[in-house]
């Protein structure tokens, strides 16, 4: 059996998780793994195993019935489910990355109960939930809480400028005595993003819809107090008032209130940060590996 990970080296969280399914198949099942698609020169992530790359044309000509194909739903327009003769697994990690889901795969796994319930409702497809993982050794928390910056890190690719502007207007109108300082970051390599988070005390997520919402959990793993929208998939780990503060998307008033609360109630902020950190430890790579070993063992034995 050969395993093919479609576009496993594309610099996105979803394809990075697909790469790690291939790693599990290689390390625990002895599979020969290939990544379909080129590896970019500038990479955001670290890849513990350098899987060989195969061009798409060569892959489609050589793939056999006994082989296994791993693909994200963002490539649904390719209709691999109908065209490829091999066994096919789709790991659904987002619901905004495709217009119409490719419903012709053999097996579906979901990154969160939110993603699972959405797909079940609209497509009638069922499957197990395996959450994404946090590199807990990379996104870690030191004991320098008081020395951290109070400026709020903003990752540009995770918010809309119009939403960001509106939030700042609402906050300034409600709390003129509490000026906000933001620090915008471009898309960074993962180790640099982790280093940036460790410098900050707070994290504000303005992403409105996520299959899982890994950046917020990475911020919690880095010891930040997390505030943001209830992005759907973040409900897999986010507990309002216990390990973070989240508001329904569009409720700028509530979001402003929650950010003001943590900025001005240090004891509450410290408790949220500690609870958030404890929560993040449950989503490590070992849990991811064990869940996929069980899932793949069941699938491959059929």
Q: What are the CA-CA distances from residue 69 to residues 6, 22, 91, 246 (Å)?
A: 7, 10, 11, 37
Annotate 43-98 with DSSP letters as a single string: -SS--SS-PPEE-HHHHHHH--TT-EEEE-GGGGGG-HHHH--SEEEEEE--SSS-
Judge contact between 112 and 211, C-beta under 8 A: yes
Rounded mean pLDDT, 138-164? 80
Residue 201 reports pLDDT greater than 80? yes
Q: Quote the CA–CA distance of 205 and 276 in Å, as a whole number.
A: 14
Rounded mean pLDDT, 16-23? 98
Q: What are the CA-CA distances from residue 158 to residues 153, 154, 179, 195, 295 (Å)?
A: 11, 8, 22, 18, 31
Residue 269 reports pLDDT greater than 80? yes
Q: Where are the domains of the chain?
A: 2-133+284-300, 145-283
Q: Which residues contact 146 (CB under 8 A, 6 or more apart)?
A: none
Give the pLDDT score at 279. 98
Residue 193 reports pLDDT greater than 90? yes
Closest residue by Cα to residue 226 from 247, 253, 250: 247
* pTM of the predicted model as reported, rounded to 2 decimal places: 0.95
Residues found in the chain? 302
The reply to whether domains 2-133+284-300 and 145-283 share a CATH topology is yes
H or E segment to which residue 278 belongs? helix 266-280
Reduced to 3 states (helix: H, G, I; strand: E, B; else coil), residue 233 is helix
Percentage with pLDDT > 70 across the chain:
97
Residue 158 reports pLDDT greater than 70? no
Rounded mean pLDDT, 34-40? 93
The class of domain 145-283 in CATH terms is: alpha beta
- pLDDT tens digits, residue range 68-103? 999 999 999 999 999 999 999 999 998 889 999 999
Q: Quote the CA–CA distance of 299 and 262 in Å, as a whole number.
A: 45
Give the pLDDT score at 42. 81
The residues facing 129 across adjacent strands are 110
Strands 68-71 and 2-6: parallel
What strands, in cross-sheet order, belong to the sheet with 225-229? 202-205, 225-229, 245-247
Closest residue by Cα to residue 109 from 302, 296, 301: 296
Judge contact between 276 and 226, C-beta under 8 A: yes
Give the pLDDT score at 143. 61
Reduced to 3 states (helix: H, G, I; strand: E, B; else coil), residue 145 is helix
Residue 166 reports pLDDT greater than 90? yes
Where in the chain does DSSP place strands (E)?
2-6, 32-36, 53-54, 68-71, 87-92, 107-110, 128-129, 152-155, 182-185, 202-205, 225-229, 245-247
Residue 222 reports pLDDT greater than 60? yes
**pLDDT-derived band of residue 159, with 50, 70 and 90 as boundaries?**
low
Judge contact between 284 and 221, C-beta under 8 A: no
Closest residue by Cα to residue 14 from 53, 71, 84: 71
CATH number of the domain located at residue range(s) 2-133+284-300 in this protein? 3.40.50.2000
């Amino acid at each position: 059996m050969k395993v093919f990970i479609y576009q496993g080296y594309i610099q996105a969280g979803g394809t990075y998780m697909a790469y790690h399914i291939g790693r599990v198949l290689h390390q625990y099942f002895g599979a020969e793994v290939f990544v379909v698609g080129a590896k970019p020169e500038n990479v955001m992530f670290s890849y513990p195993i350098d899987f060989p790359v195969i061009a798409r044309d060569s892959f489609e000509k050589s793939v056999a019935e006994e082989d296994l194909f791993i693909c994200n739903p963002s490539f649904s327009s390719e209709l691999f489910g109908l065209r490829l003769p091999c066994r096919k697994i789709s790991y659904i990690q987002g619901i905004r990355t495709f217009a119409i889901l490719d419903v012709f795969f053999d097996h579906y796994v979901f990154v969160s109960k939110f993603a699972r319930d959405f797909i079940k409702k609209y497509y009638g497809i069922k499957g197990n939930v395996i959450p994404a993982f946090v590199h807990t050794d990379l996104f870690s928390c030191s004991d320098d809480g008081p020395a951290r910056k109070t400026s709020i890190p903003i990752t540009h690719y995770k918010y809309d400028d119009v939403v960001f502007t509106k939030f700042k207007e609402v906050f300034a109108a409600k709390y003129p005595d509490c000026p906000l300082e933001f620090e915008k970051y471009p898309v960074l390599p993962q180790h640099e993003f982790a280093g940036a988070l460790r410098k900050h005390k707070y994290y504000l997520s303005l992403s409105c819809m996520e299959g899982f919402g890994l950046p917020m959990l990475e911020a919690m793993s880095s010891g930040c107090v997390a505030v943001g929208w209830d992005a759907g998939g973040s409900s897999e780990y986010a507990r309002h008032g216990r390990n973070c503060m989240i508001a329904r998307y569009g409720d700028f008033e509530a979001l402003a209130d929650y950010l003001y609360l943590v900025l001005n109630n240090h004891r509450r902020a410290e408790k949220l940060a500690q609870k958030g950190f404890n929560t993040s430890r449950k989503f490590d790579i070992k849990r991811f590996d064990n869940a996929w070993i069980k899932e793949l063992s069941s699938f491959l034995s059929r």
